[in-house]
């Protein structure tokens, strides 16, 4: 928009305001972490990132995500089908419940899980009798991660599924395909980008979870600490280099996720949520 000097001034000041805000809140801090982390050179950072506890935290984080993300993906697709194609009383309620993890504090989530699955919890005692420990152990951490990252696949797939409609599947039926086959071979490929974007968001959320997992895991270094918990652990121990180094690892993972987010087409960016 070329314009008169007043208009141009207005445009420039608006631009400066926006970029300045973003710089102060976003960009500069991220730069600062990198600067602080490498304050004493690369060697201390590498050392900090390769201690046994750090490595264990790294792999545990990946393990938890590797379980939680597929679970939520399967659930997400199934739930999207139910929301989009089925008509039943309580559908609105289902819709509302799915949004809860977006808005609930992770600490509340942690507490909630302990109340049900802890030793003294509603189901915890029954499970303990059968030798299954949930809280202070891997299953609890997976459960907490599943809770917080639950809605993403559903919310990305549902609109795409609605757009795709049922005609292609119906055509497959008339050609002899069973409903399951028609869904897998015809509909699933049609919604794959929605699923992909949902998986990326779910993974990001799973990798970054802190509040719920901190309550549910017991934070035993080297045993039930994920990378995020490890960062806090190092911070509390005044090992700032360790904390910054681990943060850097997480930041790199976050940037990879961001890259994936920009690469994949998403309905979200078209209609906005």
Partner 1 sequence: MSILVRDATRRFGDFTALDDVSVEVPSGSLTALLGPSGSGKSTLLRVVAGLERLDAGAVEIDGRDATGLPPQRRGVGFVFQHYAAFKHMTVRENVAFGLKVARRPRAEIRARVEELLELVQLPGLADRYPAQLSGGQRQRMALARSLAVQPSVLLLDEPFGALDARVRQELRAWLRRLHDEVHVTTVFVTHDQEEAMEVADRIVVMNAGRIEQVGGPRDLYEHPANAFVMGFVGPVTRLGELFVRPHDLQVRRQPNGTTAEAMVERLVHLGFEVRADLVLGDGQRLQAQLSREDAEELELASGQIVFVRPSRTRQFAEAAAGPPGV
Partner 2 sequence: MAASAVTRWRAGLEARGGAALLRGTVTLYLSLVVVLPLTAVVWRSTRDGWAAFWAAATQPQALAALRLTFVAAALVAAGNAVMGTVVAWVLVRDRFPGQRLVNALIDLPFALPTIVAGITLLALYGGASPVGIELGYSRPGVVLALGFVTLPFVVRSVQPVLLTMEPDMEEAARCLGAGPVTSFRRIVLPTITPALLAGAALAFARAVGEFGSVVILSGNIPYRTEVASVHVFSLVENDDVAGAAAVSVVLLATSVLVLAGLNLVQRRRTRHAG
Binding site for partner 1 (CB under 8 A): 167-168, 170-178, 181, 186, 189-190
What distance in Å separates the CA atoms of residue 240 and residue 229, rounded to the nearest whole number?
14
Token readout for 195 is 């699923």
Query: For residue 34, what is the enclosing H or E element?
Result: helix 28-37
Contact track, partner 2, 173-192, x by CB under 8 A? ------x-------------
> Quick one: 192 or 269, whose CB is closer to partner 2?
269
Token readout for 101 is 């993890």
Cα→Cα distances 150→47, 101, 142, 208, 211, Å: 35, 7, 12, 14, 16
CB under 5 to 8 A by kind: which of partner 1, partner 2, none does 66 bind?
Answer: none
Stretch that binds partner 2, among 42-50, 94-102, 125-133, 164-172 (CB under 8 A): 94-102
Token readout for 141 is 């951490």
Stretch that binds partner 2, among 52-60, 96-104, 129-137, 188-196 (CB under 8 A): 96-104
CB of 108 to partner 2, least distance (A): 4
CB under 5 to 8 A by kind: which of partner 2, partner 1, none does 172 bind?
Answer: partner 1
What distance in Å separates the CA atoms of residue 205 and residue 159, rounded to the nearest whole number?
21
Single out the residue of 49, 82, 164, 177 in contact with partner 2 (rule: CB under 8 A): 82
Query: For residue 248, what is the enclosing H or E element?
Result: helix 240-263
């Amino acid at each position: 928009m070329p314009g008169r000097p007043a208009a141009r001034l207005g445009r420039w000041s608006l631009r400066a305001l926006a970029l300045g805000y973003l710089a102060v809140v976003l960009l500069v801090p991220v730069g600062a972490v990198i600067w602080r982390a490498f304050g004493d050179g690369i060697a201390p950072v590498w050392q900090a990132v390769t201690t046994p506890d750090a490595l264990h935290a790294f792999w545990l984080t990946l393990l938890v995500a590797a379980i939680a993300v597929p679970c939520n993906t399967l659930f997400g697709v199934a739930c999207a089908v139910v929301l989009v194609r089925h008509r039943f009383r309580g559908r609105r309620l289902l819709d509302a419940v799915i949004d809860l993890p977006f808005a609930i504090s992770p600490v509340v989530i942690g507490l909630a899980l302990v109340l049900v699955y802890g030793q003294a919890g509603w189901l915890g005692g029954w499970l303990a009798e059968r030798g299954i420990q949930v809280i202070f152990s891997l299953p609890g951490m997976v459960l907490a991660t599943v809770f917080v990252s639950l809605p993403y696949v559903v919310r990305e797939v549902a609109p795409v599924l609605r757009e795709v409609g049922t005609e292609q599947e119906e055509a497959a039926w008339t050609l002899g395909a069973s409903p399951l086959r028609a869904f897998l071979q015809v509909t699933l490929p049609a919604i794959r980008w929605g699923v992909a974007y949902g998986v990326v968001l779910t993974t990001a959320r799973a990798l970054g979870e802190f509040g719920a997992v901190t309550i549910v895991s017991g934070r035993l270094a080297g045993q039930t600490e994920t990378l995020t918990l490890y960062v806090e652990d190092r911070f509390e121990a005044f090992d700032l280099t360790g904390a910054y180094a681990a943060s850097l690892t997480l930041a790199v993972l976050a940037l990879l996720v961001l890259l994936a987010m920009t690469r994949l087409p998403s309905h979200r960016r078209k209609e906005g949520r």
